[in-house]
C-alpha cells in the first residue's frame, strides 16, 4: 500500500482542502463504495483503487499512517467528508470518540446484545422470580447459569438495571 501511495504522490497526484483528488490539475472522479470514497489510478501499469481518506492521510501525515497503533479517522465522524482538516491520525479510541454519542451508544448496545446470554423475556422472568423470593441458586439452575451471573444481572449489569427500571415505569 505504501508503494502505491508513494507512487501516486511522485506522479503528482494531490488534494485540495476539500479532499478532492487531482492529477495534472484535473479533478479525478471519486465514487462511493461501501460508505467510503475511492478513486482509481494507474500504478505500474495496473489500475488500483485507492481510498480517498487514506491518500489524504498519506499526504498529510506521510508514512506514519502505516504505524500499527494508529488509524486515520474523520474528525466530524462523517466518512464522506475527506477535507484536509477533517482527516486526523489517532488511536481507535480517538476515532470512536469522534462519532456522535448516540451512534457510540447504539454500537455499544449492538455489541452487548451479541454477547448476552439471556433474552429480554428471560431477564423479565428472572427479575419477576427474584421479586417473588426465589433464590439465586434456583434461578441459576433453571436458566443453566451460575448464581454469580444471575446476581450480576440483577445488581450490576446496565442491561439488567434498564429492564428493572422499565418494569417499574410500567407499574
State residue 123's pLDDT score: 87
Give alpha helix (H) positions in the chain: 2-10, 52-61, 92-97, 101-115, 120-131, 136-142, 147-155, 158-170
State residue 3's pLDDT score: 85
Residues 6+ apart with CB under 8 A from 46: none
What's the pLDDT tens digit per position in 60-104? 999 999 999 999 999 988 888 899 999 999 999 998 888 888 988
Q: Which of 100, 5, 10, 101 is nearest to 56 (CA)?
A: 5
State residue 86's pLDDT score: 95
Q: Phi and psi (nearest 5°) for 89?
A: -115, 130
Q: Which pLDDT band, with edges at 50, 70 and 90, does 171 fall under?
A: low
Residue by residue, what is the 3-state secondary structure of 42-84?
EECCEEEEEEHHHHHHHHHHHHHHHCCCCEEEECCCCCCCCCH
Residue 32 has pLDDT above 70, yes or no: no
State residue 24's pLDDT score: 86
State residue 62's pLDDT score: 93
Q: Which pLDDT band, with edges at 50, 70 and 90, does 42 fall under?
A: confident
Q: C-alpha cell of 47?
A: 489500475
Residue 34 has pLDDT above 80, yes or no: no
Helix (H) or strand (E) holding 86: none
What's the pLDDT tens digit per position in 110-159? 887 777 788 888 888 998 898 899 999 999 999 999 999 899 888 887 77
Q: Which of 132, 37, 127, 124 is nearest to 86 (CA)?
A: 37
Question: Yes or no: is domain 2-99 CATH 3.90.75.20?
Answer: yes
CA 47/CA 94 separation, integer angstroms: 33
Q: C-alpha cell of 108?
A: 455499544
CA 132/CA 125 separation, integer angstroms: 11
Q: C-alpha cell of 96?
A: 470512536
State residue 61's pLDDT score: 95
Q: Is the pTM of this model over 0.85?
A: no
Domain boundaries, the chain: 2-99, 116-170
Amino acid at each position: 500500500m505504501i508503494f502505491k501511495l508513494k507512487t501516486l504522490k511522485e506522479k503528482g497526484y494531490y488534494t485540495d482542502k476539500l479532499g478532492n483528488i487531482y492529477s495534472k490539475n484535473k479533478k479525478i472522479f471519486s465514487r462511493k463504495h461501501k460508505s467510503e470514497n475511492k478513486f482509481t489510478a494507474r500504478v505500474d501499469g495496473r489500475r488500483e483503487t485507492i481510498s480517498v481518506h487514506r491518500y489524504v492521510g498519506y499526504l498529510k501525515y506521510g508514512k506514519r499512517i502505516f504505524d500499527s497503533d494508529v488509524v486515520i479517522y474523520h474528525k466530524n465522524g462523517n466518512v464522506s467528508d475527506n477535507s484536509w482538516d477533517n482527516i486526523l491520525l489517532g488511536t481507535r479510541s480517538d476515532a470512536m470518540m469522534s462519532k456522535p454519542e448516540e451512534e457510540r451508544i447504539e454500537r455499544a448496545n449492538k455489541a452487548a446484545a451479541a454477547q448476552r446470554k439471556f433474552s429480554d423475556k428471560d431477564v423479565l422472568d428472572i427479575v419477576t422470580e427474584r421479586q417473588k423470593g426465589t433464590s439465586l441458586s434456583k434461578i441459576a439452575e433453571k436458566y443453566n447459569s451460575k448464581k454469580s451471573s444471575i446476581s450480576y444481572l440483577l445488581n450490576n449489569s446496565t442491561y439488567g438495571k434498564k429492564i428493572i427500571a422499565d418494569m417499574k415505569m410500567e407499574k
